Structure 1
Amino acid sequence: MKLGFIGTGNMASAIMGGIIKNQIIPANDIIGADVMEAGRERVKDQFKIQVTADNHEVINSSDIIILSVKPQFYAEVIAEIKDDVREDQIIITIAPGKTLAWLKEQFGKNVKIVRTMPNTPALVGAGMTAACPNEYMTKEEIAYVLTLLESFGRVEIIPERLMDTVVSVSGSSPAYVFMFIEAMADAAVSGGMPRAQAYQFAAQAVLGSAKMVLETGKHPGELKDMVCSPAGTTIEAVRVLEEKGFRSSVIEAMKTCEEISKSM
């Protein structure tokens, strides 16, 4: 299989890195197009892939194409490439708000499409990706695309109606987590801990806690209760978080994120 990217930014780099590292597709079978020479040269040097400034070259030389440009450029890029896209090619999208119906309308013909929503932890092989194939994809093609997506983290097939929820719960949520880690580190610094060490303690605590949720199968509330000893320090910290509206703030932020995704 030949793999092509239109756009060579951070998310494209994460996907390239995972696919090449796991030897799913060799670097010499991957091509990336970018209007910015600096972007092209960066991935060429980092991954040893082929690069070009011509989107048509990517379409004409690839079996699978990943549209990794920003959502606001999707209509423009699709208008440029749609006449070159063949019925046997697979298009993978990573743009919030761009539905399968909208994509089909833009291409103006039947095209094999998998709508996905990865997140930035893909950069370290720990991504979470939602995938939604359209009706023109075969079971074998879907399985192959999932193999590509699994190269940089976990992947789940979901109904398209949940895609905007995915944007809020995993696509955008690394930003919330980074803010949480930063806030915990700030508090640790105020307690006298050096800044670099504070980030290590806070980040590892978040990483370990997430791993407990995934690997124990226990409800997060049960795991929280395991930390909260009677009359202890943790339950007092939890009480303050509840008093300050911690849960409500997270929920309201995510609902806002979801609504913005729907409007894109």
Structure 2
Amino acid sequence: MKLGFIGTGALTSAIVTGLKSAADNSVPVVLSPRNEEIAAGLALRYPDVRVAPDNQAVLDSCDTIMLAVRPQIAHEVLAELRFRRDHHVVSLIATLSREEIATLIAPVEQVTKALPMPMIAHRQGATIICPPDRRMSAFFGRLGKVIEVEDPSEFDALSVVTATFASYFKYLDTIRGWLTEHGVADARAHDYIVTIFKALANAPETAPDTGFMDLAQHYATRGGLNEQILRELTARNVFDAFAESLDGVHRRIAAGAAPRIGPPS
């Protein structure tokens, strides 16, 4: 494999960093010159990573191409490029359907959608792939867990999970802020929250046959403090509002990923 990236942002940086930290990291990488600072930094750090003079040069020198451009400019960028039939193209653009990508990069025959997360830089987290793809499953399997799905609608639904990360950290920061307001040193508050929630994150893995609400009930003992907060947040419809936000993100992803009728605008 000779791996090329069209688009060199944070996700490209994470994939390359994770790849080059793996035991077998001999895959040569060619980067788009877009985002010169990130591309140059990766090329300086790793001897077998280089920056191409332009996007077409990436295609001409690689057999496997990952599309990592922002969806707002994807049509413009891809329309200018000449792909080969034998390119293996992996789209990391969540809101464009596989069918739409295939139309933009014709005559490519093998097109896969994948959604890795920034923590792939540390070879953690999971990458969803659609449709199942043996080569890409093996590639991303070296960088974390791989979940392959057949149904594009299932891929879209799983993609919604990635929209919850910022809210999770806001949740933790709310706890941190409350602690500091009550006299706890910021560093100590941060350290305690990180340690506790890291342990909590392991709970579903250590008890794989236990559902999330079973775990919630395990901690929400009758008359206890966990039960109080769970009951009060539920009464205030916090979780219903959260579910509505998930619905909104899903509509946005599904609308963006739906195949277009007629030529792209």
Judging changes above 3 Å, is the alpha-carbon distance between structure 1 residues 123 and 189 closer, same or farther for their aligned structure 2 residues?
farther
What amino acid is the match of 1:92? V
- Larger CA deviation: 58-67 vs 114-123: 114-123
Q: Is residue 148 of structure 2 the alignment partner of residue 157 of structure 1?
A: yes
Kindly tell me the number of residue pairs found equivalent between the two proteins: 253
> Relative to 1, partners in 2 of residues 1:111 and 1:197: Cα closer, same or farther, differing over 3 Å?
farther
Does the 8 Å contact 1:70/1:95 carry over to 2? yes
| Aligned equivalent of 1:136 | none
Identify which of 192, 197, 222 aligns with 1:201: 192
Q: Are the aligned partners of 2:8 and 2:35 in contact in 1 as well (CA < 8 Å)?
A: no
AA at the equivalent of 1:164: D
Match of 1:68 in 2: 68
Query: Counterparts of 1:238 and 1:128 in 2: how far apart (Å)?
Result: 28
1-structure distance, mates of 2:59, 2:165: 32
Q: Name 1:176's counterpart in structure 2.
A: 167
| 8 Å CA contact retained: 1:44, 1:51 | yes
Tell me how far 1:11 sits from its aligned partner. 0.6
Deviation at 1:203, TM superposition (A): 3.0
Residues 1:160 and 1:222: Cα distance change in structure 2 (over 3 Å): same
Structure 1 residue runs of 5 or longer lacking an equivalent are 134-138
Aligned: 1:143 with 2:141? no
The 5 Å alignment of 1:207-222 reads 207-217=198-208, 218-222=210-214
Q: Is the 8 A contact 2:179 2:189 kept in 1?
A: yes
In the alignment, what sits opposite 1:225? 217
CA contact (8 A) 2:13 2:38 kept: no
Q: How does 1:49-88 map to 2 (within 5 A)?
A: 49-81=49-81, 83=82, 85-88=83-86
Matches within 5 A, 1:1-264: 1-26=1-26, 29-48=28-47, 49-81=49-81, 83=82, 85-133=83-131, 142-158=133-149, 159-169=151-161, 171-217=162-208, 218-264=210-256
Partner of 1:103, secondary structure, is helix
CA shift at 1:115, angstroms?
0.6
Cα distance, 1:39 vs structure 2: 2.5
SS of the equivalent of 1:105 reads helix
Instruction: State the Cα distance separating 1:24 from its structure 2 match.
Output: 4.1
Following superposition, the deviation at residue 25 of structure 1 comes to: 4.0
Identity between Structure 1 and Structure 2 (%): 20
Kindly indicate whether the alpha-carbon contact (under 8 Å) linking 2:92 and 2:114 is maintained by their aligned counterparts in 1: yes
Give, in angstroms, the shift of residue 110 of structure 1: 4.3
Structure 2: give runs of 5+ residues left out of the alignment: 257-265
**What secondary structure, in the 3-state scheme, does the structure 1 residue paired with 2:165 have?**
helix
Q: What secondary structure, in the 3-state scheme, does the structure 1 residue paired with 2:80 have?
A: helix
> Aligned AA for 1:35?
R
The SS at the match of 1:252 is helix
For residues 23 and 71 of structure 1, do their structure 2 counterparts lie closer, same or farther at Cα, with a shift above 3 Å needed?
A: farther
Contact persistence 2:6–2:66 (CA under 8 A) = yes
Scaled by the length of structure 1, what TM-score is found?
Answer: 0.88
Q: Is the 8 A contact 1:116 1:129 kept in 2?
A: yes
| Structure 2: distance between partners of 1:53 and 1:258 | 37
The residue type equivalent to 2:139 in the other structure is L
Amino acid in the other structure paired with 1:184? I
SS in 1 for 2:51: strand
Q: CA RMSD in A?
A: 1.9
User: For the residues of structure 2 that align with 1:18 and 1:125, how far apart are their CA atoms?
Assistant: 6
TM-score, normalised on structure 2?
0.87
